[in-house]
Chain A
Amino acid sequence: MQNLLDNLLFQARQNPLPIPTYAQDVTIWHHMSDALHQSLYRVLTLLIAVLPGILAFFVALLIFAVAGVVISWILRRCLTWAKFDLRVARKGGADWAPSSSPTGIVARVAFWACVLLGLLIGVSAFDASYATGTALPISLLPYLTHAVGAALLLIAGILIARFLARSVLISAVNAQLQYARFLSLGVKWLVLVLTAAMVLDHLEVGGNIVELAFGILFGGIVLTLSLAVGLGSRDLVSRSLESHVEHAAERTHIPEETNSSASSIRHF
């Protein structure tokens, strides 16, 4: 009898009876609920940690922008009272346009300096609240600074592209090249493509794909320009070069006899 009981106990330990199903469902839902609650808690914690920083950023920016307006107004009144424009004009000898007078320039510089200072202080406040908040795997601030740098890069690239395009256009027109506008557009898009690649690289977006695409695109544009100028419009180029040589030959020099007649033009 004892041996039978021992055997039954041993088998029970080796083969435990399964838990009923209704008990398993309760546990799964409980775990899911726990997971959702924990996720919600983490997000709310993140927001609570970051929100004061964001608010501090906007408040700092607003305060310093208002301060900039006040300082700019005070500076404008003081410099106008001191006849600053007149003193500068006397010293520099130039007549200033009303929209770009020295007083206006100083006032605008003061305003934007205050705005920039507010921006720096706001970013610093955001960084402080972010650092003392929760330890998050995502690093936002470095990406934010990269984004600002990328924006500046984009603006500079666009300005340079426009300047170079206009320079090439005017020079090509004065050189009487028929494809002046084509050259100008080509230069503009070359610079813009280069700028876009630099911006994406700065933002660390795309990686090698961007580099490869840029190389292909840039090389394609350069090759297209070369083919168009060298092969597709070689007649135009040769005519332009011939006319340039003729024009150089027509250029006047000091005549040996002062009363010699000339059918050529002397601009000077």
Chain B
Amino acid sequence: MATANQIPADTSVADHVTADLVVFVPAMPVEQFKGVLTSLEAAFSAESTIVATQNELPADAKTSLRIILTPQANPLWMLKAGDFIAAAQSGLDHEARTILILGPGADSLSSLALRSMADAVSTASVDLVVPHYSLPPHAGLINSAILYPLTRAVFASRVRFPLSLDLGLSARMAERLSAAARRIPASNQGETLLWPVNEAVAAGFTMDEVDAGSRAMPQPSDPDTNSILAMITGSLFADIESKAALWQRPRRTPPIRRAAPEAAQSDGSPDVARMVAAFRLANDNLQEIWSLVLSPNSLLMLKRCSVLEPADFRMPDNLWARIVFDFLIAYRLRTINRGHLLGALIPLYLAWVAGHINVIASGTPAERHIEAVAAAFEADKPYLVARWRWPDRFNS
């Protein structure tokens, strides 16, 4: 809780007052927190806003915003289940109709973006507002390869960043996410991910996206990309499995409501040859494991891809969709150990990344290719549903 020694005299501490907007800021570095406070002051009035944060207010920080300290938690580079519980509780305590959650690196968001998110909830009565970031073409590749296409196909949602770091929530959406987080054992709440878009679809709540411009994406302190990729993908697979009764019903994807913002340009081209070499090594060594998961047709197409030169390397969109669906089915059926399964997916993901980079290098806009991949996922959803219901059949 707040103490008089740390907070300047001109900043009031509100314990039991109401506000229209509660902004929840999880633990982050001090400089980032100062930047967030600056952006919030520019976007909102101090009278109607409360900032609930796990960060101690720096002694040299001067702000007119009302600040409340929430229980400390271990900082993570992305939002975790415990953050949603704390945010919902803060919103409930202060009877706020709008709750903003700002993740690590939120100081790079503009005041306009923050304002747009809050207005969408308060004015347009949207339950879940997700920002649409403008990232460089070679950034957020896991989201482009797996999270967005899979969420769009399975849950019929066009939200470009389903695992967003910043969210705008209505009171009932915050309560829904808090309830989902409470079902997770307390010991795992600091590491487990929640999928707000999937929860909103399951609850039948309204969703919308707002343009947020560019944003600095925090990177994990643990440099083991493979384990983090496996964690994120495994979490999404588990969430899809838990909501199987919902997404198997026919759903129509909502139409595109706004043009995608222009992505920042990037210079140079990453080392595709290295990723293709990794894929070829996996193709030579992991056939025994892939054959337990993938269809013979997919294995044959992968073999054909393995002989392509790095400069010409492409993974067909329908092949990638089929691979992800087969791995999702294998995850559900526990065909092999789940850790092994997700580890075997990594070289295939790198192969897709190599193909994606080559597509961008050939002049195709990155967003156009990603939309084509997502469309391939949508077109192949009947295959996923059929295999989910009749797992013993192997329809290639």
Instruction: Give the contacts of A80-107 with B (CB-CB under 8 A).
Output: 93-95, 97-100
A170 CA to B341 CA, complexed, in Å: 9
Q: Are B286 and A170 in contact (CB under 8 A)?
A: yes
B265 contacts the other chain (Cβ, under 8 Å)? yes
A181 CA to B283 CA, complexed, in Å: 12
Contacts A94-B242, A95-B241, A95-B242 given; does A266 touch B337 at CB 8 Å:
no
B278 contacts the other chain (Cβ, under 8 Å)? yes
A258 CA to B229 CA, complexed, in Å: 24
Q: Are B289 and A98 in contact (CB under 8 A)?
A: no
B105 contacts the other chain (Cβ, under 8 Å)? yes
Instruction: Give the contacts of A212-268 with B (CB-CB under 8 A).
Output: 243, 247-248, 250-255, 258-259, 261-268
B140 contacts the other chain (Cβ, under 8 Å)? yes
Taking the closest CB of chain B, its distance from the CB of A251, in whole angstroms, is 6
**CB nearest to A263 among chain B residues:** B268
Q: Are A251 and B223 in contact (CB under 8 A)?
A: yes
Q: Are B340 and A266 in contact (CB under 8 A)?
A: no
A254 CA to B333 CA, complexed, in Å: 38
**What mask results when residues 291 to 307 of chain B are scored 1 for a CB within 8 Å of chain A, else 0?**
00000000000000000
A252 CA to B140 CA, complexed, in Å: 12
Chain B positions within 8 Å of A, measured between CB atoms, are 77, 105, 108, 136, 138-142, 183, 214-220, 223, 225-226, 228-229, 241-242, 244-245, 264-271, 274, 277-278, 281-282, 285-286, 289, 332-334, 336-337, 339-340, 343-344, 346-347, 353, 357, 391-392
**CB nearest to B275 among chain A residues:** A265
Q: Are A268 and B140 in contact (CB under 8 A)?
A: yes
A174 contacts the other chain (Cβ, under 8 Å)? yes
A178 contacts the other chain (Cβ, under 8 Å)? yes
Taking the closest CB of chain B, its distance from the CB of A263, in whole angstroms, is 3
**CB nearest to B215 among chain A residues:** A258
Task: Please give, as numbers and ranges, the residues of chain A lying within 8 Å of B339 by CB-CB distance.
Answer: 167
Contact-residue size bin, chain A (C-beta under 8 Å from the other chain): 35 or more
A146 contacts the other chain (Cβ, under 8 Å)? no
Q: Are A176 and B278 in contact (CB under 8 A)?
A: yes
Contacts A94-B242, A169-B286, A258-B108 given; does A265 touch B353 at CB 8 Å:
yes
A145 CA to B177 CA, complexed, in Å: 55
A192 CA to B334 CA, complexed, in Å: 25
Task: Please give, as numbers and ranges, the residues of chain A lying within 8 Å of B269 by CB-CB distance.
Answer: 263
A39 contacts the other chain (Cβ, under 8 Å)? no
Interface contacts beyond A99-B392, A176-B278: sample of 11 additional A-B pairs, CB < 8 Å, sorted by A: A93-B242, A95-B245, A166-B340, A174-B226, A250-B271, A252-B219, A266-B219, A267-B225, A267-B228, A267-B353, A268-B219
Task: Please give, as numbers and ranges, the residues of chain A lying within 8 Å of B265 by CB-CB distance.
Answer: 261
Query: Interface residues of A: mostly helix, strand, loop or mixed?
Result: loop
Q: Are B340 and A176 in contact (CB under 8 A)?
A: no
Most chain A CB within a 10 A radius of its CB, from B142, B277, B286, B289: B286
A263 CA to B228 CA, complexed, in Å: 22
Q: Are B108 and A251 in contact (CB under 8 A)?
A: no
A58 CA to B54 CA, complexed, in Å: 68
A54 contacts the other chain (Cβ, under 8 Å)? no
Task: Please give, as numbers and ranges, the residues of chain A lying within 8 Å of B225 by CB-CB distance.
Answer: 251, 267
Contacts A267-B142, A268-B228 given; does A173 touch B285 at CB 8 Å:
yes
A254 CA to B136 CA, complexed, in Å: 13
Contacts A95-B241, A95-B245, A169-B285 given; does A266 touch B141 at CB 8 Å:
yes
Task: Please give, as numbers and ranges, the residues of chain B lying within 8 Å of A181 by CB-CB distance.
Answer: 285
Instruction: State the 10 A-B residue pairs at the shortest beta-carbon distance, nearest first.
Output: A263-B268, A95-B244, A266-B139, A170-B343, A261-B267, A93-B242, A258-B214, A265-B270, A261-B266, A173-B282
A73 contacts the other chain (Cβ, under 8 Å)? no
Q: Are B140 and A97 in contact (CB under 8 A)?
A: no
Q: Are A171 and B343 in contact (CB under 8 A)?
A: yes
**CB nearest to B228 among chain A residues:** A268
A163 contacts the other chain (Cβ, under 8 Å)? yes
A144 CA to B318 CA, complexed, in Å: 57
Task: Please give, as numbers and ranges, the residues of chain A lying within 8 Å of B334 by CB-CB distance.
Answer: 97, 100
Most chain B CB within a 10 A radius of its CB, from A166, A173, A259: A173
